[in-house]
Amino acid sequence: TSTREMGSESELGLKVIRLKEVEEHNRDAETIWTVIHGKVYDVTNFLEEHPGGGEIILENAGMDSTEQFDDVGHSSDAKEMLTDLYIGNIHPDDEEKPEAKSESWSIPWIPVTFALLLSLVLAKYAFTKK
């Protein structure tokens, strides 16, 4: 499948690529694509140059590798190198949405309150003369 068949041009003239097309450019394809932060990169020619080896790129071929890319802590130089490999943006419908953070325990009011009350009750019994 060619890029022209599945991709489209956005209003700004940027190439918009569906995730289905990215998935076709996996480790078994002639060209290797990956997605990082909603942008699609053709990393085929970078396999031999990658300081960590080409195998790690092949493991992330044809998929969104944003988390893996960020976990490694790439240098600013590495991030700049991506501009030469950029071929388009992932279609907005295919972008991985960050999981909604659960607010239920972000501020642990219930456990903190329970611990405080428990310590007050224990203190009362510990220091009460019999």
The string of pLDDT tens digits covering residues 38-88 is 999 999 999 998 988 889 999 999 999 999 998 888 888 888 989 999 999
Does residue 128 or residue 40 have the better pLDDT?
40
Whether the per-residue pLDDT at 1 is higher than 50: the answer is no
Instruction: Note the pLDDT of residue 101.
Output: 52
Task: Calculate the dihedral angle through the C-alpha atoms of 69, 74, 78, 83, rounding to the nearest 10 degrees.
Answer: 40
The CA distance from 31 to 45, in Å, is 9
pTM for this entry: 0.66
Q: How confident is the model at residue 6 (pLDDT cuts 50, 70, 90)?
A: very low
Instruction: Note the pLDDT of residue 76.
Output: 87
Does residue 113 or residue 129 have the better pLDDT?
113
The strand order across the sheet containing 8-9 reads 8-9, 15-17, 86-90, 39-42, 33-36
Tokens of 34: 């990956």
